[in-house]
Amino acid sequence: MSLEAHRCAEGHLTYPAHPRCPTCGEPQVETVDLTERTATVVTWTVSTATPPGVREPNPLAIVEFEVDGQPVRAIGGLTTDRVETGDEVRPVYVETLRDPDAGIRAAESQSWDGYRFEPV
Amino acid sequence: MDRVAIIGASMTRFGRRDAWIRDLLAEAGTACLEAAGVAAADLDHLYVSNMASGEFEGQTGVMNALAHDLGALGAYTQRVDQTSASGGAGLYAAWQSVASGASELTLLVGGEKMTHVSTAEATDVIASLTHPVEYKHGVTLPSFAGLTARAYLEAYDAPRESLAKVAVKNHRNGVDNPHAQFRKAVDLETVMSSPVIADPLRLYDFCPITDGSAALLLCPESVAAERADDYVVVTGVAGATDTHVVHERADPTTMMGVVRSSRRAYDMAGRGPDDVDVAELHDMFTILEFLQSEDLGFFEKGAGWRAVEDGVTDRDGELPINTSGGLKSKGHPLGASGVAQVYELYQQLTGNAGPRQVDAEVGLACNVGGFGNCVTTTILEAAA
């Protein structure tokens, strides 16, 4: 599993990928690996009313990476609830983010591994 | 052009109900037709606003079940799903059916049956609208609200108490609504000391899980003048989308679906935010009332919280918001909510809102689906 931003020929970046760039409608042609970069916490919460198969409490954040001077954001769990807006975080791989068989979504329809964010 | 009128409105009691989806829809539909003195057999189109009857109850095809149960056999039917904004989207579809000339009499019924599943299961059904990269992290609609509330409080230096005051206001309004799930006032301390659900938001920042249904009857204004003593006119209605993936928005405190749909509705009605006398906003979470009141143009960006602090949006304020009690106290049966917003405005604009009555000629309803993924704005005016 990867954590990649996707770039169209016009240079617009998104995470996750889209079949066409939401900004200009061009296909996305390049990927940028984000796993070795750090990001800044834009906002965060700690969710305590979680759905079946999700850890409780579940700290979550929207974080912002900078790629060649351009911002690209991602959402993900946090490894701790001790975080503040503006903190620097790095991606940490987690094999199973939630129990694929406990929720309403078809388990085989998507991936369940990914990256949580840990304060640097 | 003949304008589109609403000549009847009804809603069931919202709350924990024994009735299942078919019964709830039939209860509101029957009451609406009876209130308007219209026979079901005369309906040309029948729309049902509903997000997830299949997921919640294992009952699909609810629009055709309703046609049979009401005695509207022969009518064209359609189920409208815009998640939480299904009610507003249903009104837009119903409006289109009459405005286009395809239907001379359209019944819209919105409903949802939710309380028979656990809170965790209901949260998961609703969270299934998220993108896979959100869903796999256990992101829920309440957690989006927590993320957004923190961004808002930090960006505009708003006190946490200002969010609690939305809950206090809407609960106070709900006391006078006989259909509301909670008819109980709450004080600031109760809200501020309730359990944390999605930090910084607490239990009383969230609407409950609810069963219920609401209905509206639409026809051309020329027909309304013959059939009804009281009616209101849909002078503006529009919808718009925002990003599906919530973190891809440049400003987490702005809902572009609200901005775009309201601009279109204002243009259509020849009205602006200053013309609105009363509004029903989608306060699924207290923070959403701030975002909408700003993105609709009622207040400057970052100033919505001050309006609540200053009592501007109280029932006796300059711009009453959520006189019904809002989703917060009335309850939020997903597909019914947008229809019930318009039910409240119909009562206000026809002078039948009882103890909730305010002085109003122009009303606005804003119905938000997903976490702002899709939004409809409707402007209603009293018949001239």
Among A41, A45, A58, the residue to mutate for chain B (most B Cβ within 10 A): A45
Q: In this structure, are B240 and B325 located in the same domain?
A: yes
| Number of domains comprising chain B | 2
Question: What does the block give as tokens for A48?
Answer: 């305590």
Distance of CA B231 to the CA centre of its chain: 20
pLDDT range class, residue A1, cuts 50, 70, 90: low
Q: Is residue A39 part of a domain?
A: yes
Q: Is B373 on the interface with A (CB under 8 A)?
A: no
Q: In this structure, are B11 and B36 located in the same domain?
A: yes
Q: Which of A15, A13, A33 is nearest to B137 (CA)?
A: A15
Q: From CA B127, how far away is CA B142, in angstroms rounded? A: 9
pLDDT range class, residue A2, cuts 50, 70, 90: confident
Q: Which of A97, A57, A114, A118 is nearest to B142 (CA)?
A: A57
Question: Which CATH number characterizes residue B367's domain?
Answer: 3.40.47.10
Q: Which of B111, B59, B82, B36 is nearest to B333 (CA)?
A: B111
Q: In this structure, are B251 and B363 located in the same domain?
A: yes
Q: Is B41 on the interface with A (CB under 8 A)?
A: no
Place of tokens 């079946």: A52
Determine the straight-line distance between the first and last CA of chain B, rounded to whole angstroms: 15
Q: Is residue A79 part of a domain?
A: yes
Walk across the sheet containing B106-112 and list its strands: B76-80, B45-49, B106-112, B212-220, B4-11, B232-241, B374-382, B362-369, B278-280
Q: In this structure, are B112 and B162 located in the same domain?
A: no
Cα–Cα distance list, A35 to A38, A92, A118, B354 (Å): 8, 8, 12, 60
* Residues on chain A bordering chain B, Cβ-to-Cβ distance under 8 angstroms: 14-16, 22, 42-55, 58, 60-62, 73-77, 85, 97-98, 103-105, 109-112, 114, 116
Long-range residue pairs from A52-59, CB within 8 A, at least 24 positions apart, any chain: A52/A99, A52/A102, A52/A103, A52/B120, A52/B121, A52/B124, A53/A98, A53/A99, A53/A100, A53/A101, A53/A102, A53/A103, A53/B138, A54/A98, A54/A99, A54/A103, A54/B138, A55/A98, A55/B138, A57/A81, A58/B137, A58/B138, A58/B143, A59/A83
Q: From CA B133, how far away is CA B110, in angstroms rounded? A: 31
- Four-residue CA torsion sign, B156, B282, B206, B186: positive
Which 3 state secondary structure label does DSSP give A10? coil
Q: Is residue A113 part of a domain?
A: yes
Residues B140, A45: C-beta atoms closer than 8 Å:
no
Residues B143, A14: C-beta atoms closer than 8 Å:
no
Residues A75, B246: C-beta atoms closer than 8 Å:
yes
pLDDT given for residue B1 in this prediction:
72
Q: In this structure, are B352 and B374 located in the same domain?
A: yes
Q: Is residue A6 part of a domain?
A: no
Tell me which amino acid residue B158 is: A
CA–CA min distance A4, chain B (Å): 12
Q: In this structure, are B191 and B269 located in the same domain?
A: yes
Q: Is residue A10 part of a domain?
A: no
Q: Which of B225, B227, B180, B233 is nearest to B35 (CA)?
A: B227
The residues of chain B scoring below 70 in pLDDT are: none
Q: In this structure, are B224 and B157 located in the same domain?
A: no
Domain boundary among B233, B267, B287: B233
What ipTM was reported for this prediction? 0.98
Tell me which amino acid residue A98 is: R
Among B125, B143, B256, B371, the residue to mutate for chain A (most A Cβ within 10 A): B143
DSSP conformational letter for A109: G
- Four-residue CA torsion sign, B120, B125, B127, B132: positive
Q: In this structure, are B151 and B78 located in the same domain?
A: no
pLDDT given for residue B384 in this prediction:
75
Residues A52, B119: C-beta atoms closer than 8 Å:
no
Q: Is residue A26 part of a domain?
A: no
In this complex, the residue of A48, A61, A62 whose CB is nearest that of residue B197 is: A48
Q: Is residue A20 part of a domain?
A: no
Which 3 state secondary structure label does DSSP give A20? coil
| Number of domains comprising chain A | 1
Task: Domain of residue A109: give its range.
Answer: 35-119
Task: Domain of residue B94: give its range.
Answer: 4-117+210-233
Cα–Cα distance list, B307 to A112, B110, B166, B216, B324 (Å): 43, 31, 10, 31, 18
Q: In this structure, are B135 and B155 located in the same domain?
A: yes
For A35-71, the pLDDT digits (tens) are: 999 999 999 999 999 999 999 999 999 999 999 999 9
Contacts of B243 in chain A (CB under 8 A): 22
Q: Which of B375, B359, B356 is nearest to B367 (CA)?
A: B375
Q: From CA B139, how far away is CA A61, in angstroms rounded? A: 10
Q: In this structure, are B258 and B111 located in the same domain?
A: no
Does residue A19 have a cis peptide bond before it, meaning omega lies within 30 degrees of 0? no
Q: In this structure, are B87 and B69 located in the same domain?
A: yes
Q: Is residue A75 part of a domain?
A: yes
Q: In this structure, are B21 and B142 located in the same domain?
A: no
Domain boundary among B179, B198, B233: B233
Contacts of A47 in chain B (CB under 8 A): 138, 140, 142-143, 146, 197-198
pLDDT given for residue B250 in this prediction:
94
Q: Is B136 on the interface with A (CB under 8 A)?
A: yes
Count the residues in chain B: 384
Place of tokens 């300059």: B318
Which 3 state secondary structure label does DSSP give A53? coil
